[in-house]
Amino acid sequence: MSIAHEIIPVQSLKAACSNCSLRELCLPVGLDMGEMAQLDVVIDQRQPIKRGEPLFRAGDPFKSLYAVRMGFFKTTVLSEDGREQVTGFHMAGDLIGLDALGDNRHACTALALEDCEVCELPYHQIEELAHKIPALTRHFYKLMSREIVRDQGVMMLLGNMRAEERLVAFLLNLSQRMTARGFSSTNFVLRMTREEIGSYLGMKLETVSRTFSRFQAEGWIAVQGKQIEIVDLPSIKQLVSGCTGLK
């Protein structure tokens, strides 16, 4: 059997990509060896981004998408009065840069919250490759659909939820995302500051801090610095009645 037609077993892919943020691009489409080799040619892997450095800035011309291989990023925009508004948090396995697909310029700035690694996907080369691999095209449609759903979830949080519900939904979303990456669903470190969480959720810093303190007093969570342990998962889930729109 030629290499180009040898199908990679899903189990083998999982073993090879267990620590790779590109697994979401590979695993769902079941690429064969030849297609994987074509991806390897165009993807620039393991680019380091130091804490506080931008991956790209608002207004930069669109050249590439970026898969987060390691670390956390925040995306931000500037309001009319010059204030920074956090629009998202991105961890290993997430794809950043889809905001620029419409106007060929980035609408937001992506900053590293810690030392990170990304894999760069030059868009024009990926686009050409997608014409040869239809499954890759379908997967990019899926990613764009996910971004739309995420935006709708944020609007729901900001429009319909009280402060404590917003913070619970945020923690539950992080819990779900950690679980999907093989980490603990109830014990994790918040890479972002309380102020950044407040900016994202439309809450003042004082409200975020007070709400965390209340959750700890209720025995729902345990907080030590940025370390969060969800102690009573059923109770905090009841607070939002399944409304966890941040994905």
Report which residue type is found at 129: L
pTM, two decimals, is 0.82
Tell the burial category of 25 from Cβ atoms under 10 Å away from its Cβ (0-12, 13-18, 19+): buried
Domains in the chain with CATH codes: 3-147 (2.60.120.10), 161-240 (1.10.10.10)
pLDDT tens digits, 175-232: 988 888 888 999 999 999 999 999 999 999 999 999 999 999 999 999 998 999 999 9
pLDDT at residue number 30? 61
H-helix or E-strand spanning residue 211: helix 205-217
| 192 phi, psi to nearest 5 deg | -95, 160
Rounding to the nearest 10 degrees, give the CA dihedral for residues 116, 95, 236, 204: 70
CB 164 within 8 A of CB 238: no
- Tokens 């996910």 -> residue: 146
Question: Order of strands, edge to edge, in the sheet holding 221-224?
Answer: 187-189, 227-230, 221-224
User: 235-240 — which CB contacts under 8 Å span 24+ positions?
Assistant: 236/168, 236/171, 236/172, 237/168, 237/172, 239/164, 239/165, 239/168, 240/161, 240/165, 240/168, 240/169, 240/172
Distances (CA, A) of 142 to 79, 84, 107, 108, 195: 29, 29, 21, 21, 32
pLDDT tens digits, 41-100: 777 778 899 999 999 999 999 999 998 888 999 999 998 888 899 999 999 888 899 889
CB 226 within 8 A of CB 219: no
Distance CA 80, CA 77 (A): 10
Which of 140, 144, 175 minimizes the C-alpha distance to 246?
A: 175
pLDDT at residue number 15? 34
